[in-house]
Structure 1
Amino acid sequence: MAETPTIGWIGLGKMGLPISSRIAAVGRDIAGYDRDQERIAQAASGGVKPAATLAEAAGRDMVFTSLPDDRALKAVALDGDLFAAMRKGAILVETSTVSPGISAEVARAADGHGVAYLRAPVSGNAAIAHTGNLTCFVSGPRAAFETLLPVAQDFTRAQKYLGEAEEARYAKLSVNLMIAVSAAMMGESIVLARKGNLGWQDILDVLTNSAVGSPMVHYKAKSLETRDFNSTFSCRQMAKDLDLIVGAGHAAEMALPLATLTREIYGALIGRGEGETDFIATVRLAEWLAGLGEPDLDTNDGRLA
């Protein structure tokens, strides 16, 4: 493979668009494809070469995919023409959050076509993807990882190699399980404090300045100060990931009671019309279950508005 590989990017959605544009901004030769022509045009405005077909994007040295779920990955990699269009000796870098099962199927197909397959799910959200502050977990052939590393450093601040098989998939699901359960706990904690007559800002200050003040708590407390529930990662997306987590647990013959309960919380949010709201809308569900309305932010009131 060339010292500076040509890059193809398939899937220019919430994550794929800003990441591919960032790669283009550092001067790399990258061509992008999406079924949505408007997304291709947006990527082109950021320096990504438009690919007229999936095969055109796939016929490069290193091909990234950024797809929404197992079904989309199956359609592209197993039922579609991805591997037929890829060069022997090329590297496929799959960045999506998908199940270990479908990923293992893709690995077998890649091996059959002489393609090195890297599982490289990214951690972070679309709001920070353009900043280069994502992280990625990678598993697959070590030599392919070494080739990927300079490119990964263009759009991530940390890269962790974990092994030859599906280790990166389990790492991403483990991280997302912690995020989901933390969001559920945060919702209940805030509402318990409101029931105890704490002001809205007061309980946020308590959480961020206590032993539980993790980076996620700080990050979400900032948006909760103004009750900003615009989605960085939606309740529906979190429910999808929890389905993957519970499925992976069942396949590993282990119980995941917290994951299962948290999935029901997100199911309730979706049922209440909050599917496209940010995943921290767990606060809203907890308020509803507690019989509370929205607080009056102008008075720092934790009681009914």
Structure 2
Amino acid sequence: MASDKPAIAYVGVGLMGGPMAALLAARGYRVSAFDVDPGRLAAVAEKGVTAAASAADAARGADCVLLNLPWESAVEAAVFGEDGVAGWLTANSVVVDFSTVSPAFCTRIAAAVSEKTGAVWIDAPVSGGPPASEAGELTIMAGGPEDAIARLKPLFDTIGRQFTRAGDTGAGAVAKAIAQLVVATNYAVLAEAARLAEAAGMDAALLPECVRYGHADGELMRQLYPRIVAHDFAPRAYARQLLKDLEMVQDVARAAGAPTPMSGQATQLFKLLVASGLGGIDGTGVYRLYAGSAGNGITGQEVESV
């Protein structure tokens, strides 16, 4: 790489990628970015990031390409599509995919990138949400060659407070799938808890205080539950993205032969939510199914057959 701080191309500057790209620029990295949404690109351009005309334009002269995209098809297009980054990748390039994608996809695209360009692929999904991406306090789980990951450790340390190399290519994606199983299932559990508290006549907002330091306490109770009770469903993590992640979890579980009844139930709940036209709200909005305000609310009896 040309210097201690590699030149970066950043493709995908949405809820997570935007703050991450801006933080890297603020910490002295040269960042050129592209997003299909001109508004998102304009927002990061105001924070020291160079706006590029395409993914390929962003990758021109970059040592490292960072991807943060919502779907596997978007990742594939950003790399191998028209105006994709592949034309500018060399054997000295590293591609880091922060997207939440399946392990099988990671393995396939890493092999294709290596064969066609010689570049190294690292799957490095992140957890923590937009506030952590803004503060540089993300949790990062990576899969890929140990030497390539070690070279980029300063970059990972810039955007994250916890970094783990989970193993070879695809291992980061496996870890993220399991993390999403835990998180997305808890969205549904906390929504259920809030609705039960309300229905039973207690001040639902007091529940986090009631369980503080007990076994029911935790980050999700402290961060997500108050938003549910306040009916604050402004997106920090889109419901449609959580559904995509849960469906990926089911695919990974089937391939591994592992039972996932709890996350399977959560998957069905998020399918109902998205089918109600609410895929663009936050995942905490699954509460609206329990409250009957999603257009097709559920009862205690109906949820058993979801």
Mark the runs of 5 or more structure 2 residues left unpaired by the alignment.
293-297, 301-306
Residues 242-298 of structure 1, C-alpha deviation per residue, up to 9 Å, x if partnerless? 11111111122222221211110111112333322221223222233349xxxxxxx
Q: Which residue of 1 aligns with 2:53?
A: 52
Q: Which residue of 2 aligns with 1:22?
A: 23
Distance 1:39 1:197 in 2: 43
User: Contact between 1:97 and 1:172, CA under 8 Å: does it hold in 2?
Assistant: yes
Residue 145 of structure 1, CA deviation: 0.6
Distance 2:288 2:208 in 1: 15
The equivalences for 1:58-69 within 5 A come to 58-59=59-60, 60-69=62-71
Q: Which residue of 1 aligns with 2:146?
A: 142
Identity of aligned residues (%): 27
Question: C-alpha root-mean-square deviation of aligned residues, in Å?
Answer: 1.8
Distance 1:275 1:260 in 2: 18
Q: Secondary structure at the match of 2:118?
A: coil
Q: Secondary structure at the match of 2:139?
A: strand
Which of the numbers 156, 169, 173 marks the counterpart of 1:169?
A: 173
Q: Give, as a single letter, the amino acid of the residue that structure 1 aligns with 2:72.
A: D
Q: Give, as a single letter, the amino acid of the residue that structure 1 aligns with 2:235.
A: S
Greater displacement, 114-123 / 56-65: 56-65
Distance 2:274 2:123 in 1: 30
Q: Give, as a single letter, the amino acid of the residue that structure 2 aligns with 1:104.
A: T
Greater displacement, 8-17 / 184-193: 184-193
The equivalences for 1:56-205 within 5 A come to 56-59=57-60, 60-80=62-82, 81-112=84-115, 113-205=117-209
User: Contact between 1:118 and 1:145, CA under 8 Å: does it hold in 2?
Assistant: yes
Residue 197 of structure 1, CA deviation: 2.2
User: Contact between 2:11 and 2:78, CA under 8 Å: does it hold in 1?
Assistant: no
Q: Secondary structure at the match of 1:157?
A: strand
Pair 35,274 (structure 1): closer, same or farther in 2 beyond 3 Å: closer
Distance 1:39 1:122 in 2: 20
Distance 2:234 2:48 in 1: 28
Residue 206 of structure 1, CA deviation: 2.4
The equivalences for 1:143-292 within 5 A come to 143-288=147-292, 289-290=298-299
User: Contact between 1:207 and 1:217, CA under 8 Å: does it hold in 2?
Assistant: no
Distance 1:239 1:154 in 2: 30
Residues 122-145 of structure 1, C-alpha deviation per residue, up to 9 Å, x if partnerless? 112123321112111111011111
Mark the runs of 5 or more structure 1 residues left unpaired by the alignment.
292-305
Residues 101-141 of structure 1, C-alpha deviation per residue, up to 9 Å, x if partnerless? 21111110122121111111111212332111211111101
Q: Give, as a single letter, the amino acid of the residue that structure 2 aligns with 1:82.
A: V
Distance 1:154 1:255 in 2: 37
Q: Secondary structure at the match of 1:272?
A: helix
Distance 2:244 2:168 in 1: 26
User: Contact between 2:34 and 2:52, CA under 8 Å: does it hold in 1?
Assistant: yes
Residue 153 of structure 1, CA deviation: 1.3
Pair 190,52 (structure 1): closer, same or farther in 2 beyond 3 Å: closer
- Equivalences, count: 291
Q: Which residue of 2 aligns with 1:39?
A: 40
With normalisation by structure 2, the TM-score equals 0.89
Q: Give, as a single letter, the amino acid of the residue that structure 2 aligns with 1:89.
A: N
User: Contact between 2:15 and 2:236, CA under 8 Å: does it hold in 1?
Assistant: no
